[in-house]
Amino acid sequence: MRRALLLAFIQTALYSSVLAKFNPLHHSGPAAPYFNAPPQFGISDETPPGCVVDQAAYIVRHGARYPEPGGSVDGWESLFAKFQSSDYTASGSLAFMPSWTPAIDAMANEPLYLTTAGAMEAFNLGVELRQRYGLTQGGDNLTVWSASQQRVEDTASYFLDGYLSQGNFLLNKTLNRGTIVTLPDSVNFTFANSLTPGNGCPLYPTGDKSALANTFRASYQPAIAQRLNTMLDGLELNVTDIGPMMDLCGFQTVINGNKEFCGIFTDDEWLDYEYADDLNYYYGSGPGNPFSAVVGFPYVKAVTDLLVVGPNKTTNGSTIIPPNLLMSFTHDNNIPPIVSALGIWNESTVSPLSPTTPNTQRHFRSSFLVNFLGHIAIERLSCDQPLPFSVKHVAGQIVPRPGKSSDTKQYVRIRINDAPVPVPGCTSGPGSTCPLSDFADYVTERGKTIGNFVDVCGLKNVSNATSSVTFFTDFPPNSTVFTPLPEAM
């Protein structure tokens, strides 16, 4: 018995050590493929006993894409030219460099578009949410919302493919249809009523201090270049080569599964790389930008209002009946403003982020928020007493599941990349959730603190400027609607 227990302990320890192994792809910021964020607050990600999610809103970054032309692509091509234009010997973790070629083989078609991994990420999210919530019955239709760029629309389309069963419904064009409402980038006729509202706030760029990330990069990249040069005879790397090489870990992984660049750098170097991205988003589009919260608040207010109204409810005079699952797809820089508006991940002990010294206790981490398909969910839970140990059944009568009786109470839970995040000062509900009425009051008070989009963004003299998100219930100007699922032949 003692020997069996000892072996079990050793196996558990070995398994734990494997799980704890450092993974560079979990510290690669916006270049990281999607992964569920680890718990930061000790809250279970399971729906609390006695509760069901009867309504949810997700705002999602597009799935994994190819690099940007003129940006990352230029950096990769320069790196490739450098390694191909000299005679040198590479050893150790750089031994593959003489064989390396950039993972772009169709320049006219690939940059900025989804990779196959990105399509799979979106499809899998659709499958997961269909199974997790059960909010849509077979044959039901679903409307989702998307920013207008192709990679975002494609993400929405693949999500719908995963979420909706296509099977026998293909021959009936009224059943099991996915509809995408594509919103134009926020401009002088959309303003806050957009999935890219920062573009409609003229003062938003004035609060951008993301250049602090470049200063931090300059503090660690020279030492990396110096270390890597010990593995090269006849060629010398400089600091401008380090960023593209570290980016290639995530990007090559999502393009062709090649992780060779992930093994070049040490754990500490990856943590510095990640923190530079944290600074970029925190001070560029997150809480460190004083205009971030007002850019994100209209979305938060619109979602909160719909959660208060409840599922399966219509709005008088609306042109859209919002579904129980509100899915919005956008870009990385449009996710941090939601964090700012909600006032989460912003504890005084670790915020604002230091421009020079990473705090290991910080909650704001770009890898947990703006990795490919990174998302924030706001769930409405209906809860009552969990099932007792013994349940009596009367023939022909289905016993209501907990959370679906007439005595339920409603609560709100926030999840970032699946990990629950508490509403500041409001955790009295099951599983540290916030009572719905208290959450609505919290959002109202946040709005008073944050201010009005039109006023704060300097749009008072613009006659058609709006501070409200209404696209969930009404088609905004210049939006387009299409059904991406295959039609019957």
For 287, phi then psi, to 5°, come to -60, -20
453 neighbors 191 (Cβ within 8 angstroms): yes
Segments in 204-363 forming alpha helices (H): 212-229, 239-256, 267-284, 292-309, 336-342
Q: What CA–CA distances, in Å, run from 305 to 314, 409, 430, 469, 472?
A: 12, 17, 22, 11, 11
- Name beta bridge partners: 89: 233
List pLDDT tens digits, range 227-272.
Answer: 999 999 999 999 999 999 999 999 999 999 999 999 999 999 999 9
Q: Which amino acid is at 110?
A: E
Q: Cα separation of 300 and 376, whole Å?
A: 11
* Domain architecture of the chain: domains with CATH: 22-38+57-362+435-482 (3.40.50.1240)
What local confidence, expressed as pLDDT, does residue 165 receive? 72
| Residue 353, phi then psi, degrees to nearest 5 | -65, 135
Which residues belong to the active site? 62, 332
Amino acid at 64: A
Q: Is the pLDDT of residue 4 over 60?
A: no
The whole-number pLDDT of residue 378 equals 98
Handedness of CA 103, 109, 111, 116 (dihedral sign): negative
Burial of 342 (0-12, 13-18, 19+ CB in 10 A): buried
Give the pLDDT confidence score for residue 385 in this predicted structure: 86
Residue 169 is predicted with a pLDDT of 67
State how far the Cα of 466 lies from the Cα of 192, in Å rounded to an integer. Answer: 6
Please name which of 186, 145, 163, 420 lies closest in space to residue 294, comparing C-alpha atoms.
186
CA 408 to chain centre: 30
Whole-structure pTM value = 0.92
pLDDT tens for residues 324-374? 999 999 999 999 999 999 999 987 777 799 999 999 999 999 999 999 999
Q: Which of 145, 410, 456 is nearest to 304 (CA)?
A: 410
Query: Is the predicted pLDDT of residue 147 greater than 50, yes or no?
Result: yes
Can you tell me which residue has the tokens 């320069």? 78
- Specify the pLDDT at position 109: 61
Strand partners, 379: 56, 413
Phi and psi at 20, nearest 5°, equal -85, -5
* pLDDT, tens digit, 9 for 90 and up, residues 21-36: 899 999 999 999 999 9
Query: How much of the chain exceeds pLDDT 70, in percent?
Result: 92
Pairing verdict, β 375-383 and 409-416: antiparallel
pLDDT of 37 over the 50 cut: yes
